[in-house]
Structure 1
Amino acid sequence: MLTLHTAPLLRTAPGGPPSEAAAVAVRADRVIAVGPLVQLSEEYADARVRRWPGTLGPGRVHDAPLPPAPTPRERIHALLRLGVTAVLAEHVADPVLRAAVDRSDLLVLDTSVPPTLAPGGRADLAVFADDGTCLVTVLAGRLVHRRA
């Protein structure tokens, strides 16, 4: 299914300049376009449109040990609530934790790489409120966290 994700502000890279009235077009697990909402709405007229409050951008890379929690699943969910879409391999070396990470579709990186939203890239994105709180996390095109 094709989805347009849009918010009042969009950043294609962390700390990059925000664009207004922009959107990200996602098909399956890939970004297929980034651009003005009006243009993408016309080009992909049959797309489902998800309008989010806040600032839409790439998900965060977590470069520290995972938060403590009773189960590996809960440790991963704690990351998703922060807008994390990638973790460093060194922090998920435990086989049980790594299996949970693999099931979740979190991206596992050998080194920290600044995430971007670009056509052809994996659809890992997040929406943040003005205070930095994560409102939405999308992993490989799937909505995996939404703040109530």
Structure 2
Amino acid sequence: MLTIHAAAALRRTTCGEPVPGDAVAVSGDRVAAVGPLEELLERYPGARVRRWPGTLGPALVHEGAVPAAPTPRERVHAVLRLGATAVLADRVTEPELLAAAGRTGVAVLDVPRQPALAPSARADLAVFDADGTCVATILAGRVLHRRA
């Protein structure tokens, strides 16, 4: 099912300026299109629409140490709560943590990359409120974290 994710504004890159009224259409685990919400609604009339508070953009790459938690699964979820869907390989050296990242779908990268929203890219998105707190994290089109 195609889903359109919309917020007050959208960043196409993590450093880009937020564009009010833009949104991202997601089909399965991929970005189908990025652009003005009204155009996406016309292009995909049967799409489900998720409206988020804050600014929507590409999910982050977590470059620091993976947060401490009682289990590897909880450590991976702590990364998702920060708005990240990728970690650096040199920070994920424990086999149990690497396995938990793999089961969840968190990307393990050899080098950092600049996340961007573009058609056919993996649909890794994050929503941040005005104070920078992560509201939601979408990994490969699936909402894996949503702040209550």
Query: Shorter chain as normaliser: what TM range?
Result: over 0.9
Q: How does 1:16-27 map to 2 (within 5 A)?
A: 16-27=16-27
1:34 counterpart residue number: 34
Structure 1 residue 56, shift from structure 2 partner: 0.1
Q: Please state if 1:3 is matched with 2:3.
A: yes
Matched residues in 1 for 2:20 and 2:66: separation? 34
Count the aligned residue pairs: 148
Structure 1 residue 24, shift from structure 2 partner: 0.2
Q: How does 1:110-125 map to 2 (within 5 A)?
A: 110-125=110-125
Q: Give unpaired runs (5+ residues) of structure 1.
A: none
Matched residues in 1 for 2:50 and 2:80: separation? 19
Q: Please state if 1:144 is matched with 2:108.
A: no
1:64 counterpart residue number: 64
Q: Percent identity?
A: 61
Matched residues in 1 for 2:101 and 2:111: separation? 17
Matched residues in 1 for 2:143 and 2:111: separation? 25
Matched residues in 1 for 2:52 and 2:125: separation? 12
Matched residues in 2 for 1:108 and 1:125: separation? 16
Letter in 1 for 2:42: E
Aligned CA-pair RMSD: 0.6
Summarize deviations over 1:79-137 as a string: whole Å, max 9, x none: 11110111011111211111000011111111000100110100000000000000000
Letter in 1 for 2:115: P
Query: Match of 2:108, SS?
Result: strand
Structure 1 residue 18, shift from structure 2 partner: 1.2
Matched residues in 2 for 1:109 and 1:102: separation? 12
Matched residues in 2 for 1:93 and 1:27: separation? 33
Letter in 2 for 1:107: A
Q: Give unpaired runs (5+ residues) of structure 2.
A: none
Please report the TM-score for the alignment, with normalisation by the length of structure 2: 0.98
Structure 1 residue 14, shift from structure 2 partner: 1.1
